[in-house]
Homo-oligomer: A and B are copies of this chain.
Amino acid sequence: MSGKNVFYAQSGGVTAVINATACGVIETARKQRSIGKVLAGRNGIIGALNEELIDTSLESRADIAKLRHTPSGAFGSCRYKLKSIDENRAEYERLIDVFRAHQIGYFFYNGGGDSTDTANKVSSFSRTLGYPITCIGIPKTVDNDLAITDTCPGFGSVAKYVAISTLEAGLDVASMATSSTKVFVLEVMGRHAGWIAAAGGLAGSSARQPPHIILFPEIAFDRQRFLDKVKATVNSIGFCVIVASEGTQYGDGRFVADAGLKDAFGHTQLGGVAPSLVDMIKQAHGYKCHWSVADYLQRAARHIASATDVAQAYAVGEAAVEFAIAGKDAVMPVIIRGKGKKYTWEIGEAPLGKVANVEKKLPRSFISKDGYSITASARRYLSPLIAGESHPPYRNGLPVYVRLKNKLVRKKLPAFRTEG
Contact = CB atoms under 8 A, between A and B. Distances in A.
Given A184-B296, A275-B269, A279-B267, A14 B397 contact: no
Nearest to A173: B296
Contacts of A303: 164, 168, 304
Contact of A397 (B75, B383, B399): B383
A293 interface: yes
Interface stretch (A96-104, A190-198, A385-393): A385-393
A43 interface: yes
A10 B179 contact: no
Contacts of A398: 163-164, 167, 202-203, 386
A304 B168 CA distance: 11
B160 A76 contact: no
A409 interface: no
B73 A175 contact: yes
Contacts of A292: 293-297
The size class of the interface chain A forms with chain B is 35 or more
Nearest to A77: B175
A223 interface: no
A299 interface: yes
Interface of A: 10, 13-14, 16, 43-44, 46, 70-80, 160, 163-165, 167-169, 171-176, 178-180, 184, 186, 202-203, 259-264, 267, 269-272, 274-275, 278-279, 282-283, 290-297, 299-304, 306, 308, 383, 386-389, 391, 394, 396-399, 401, 420
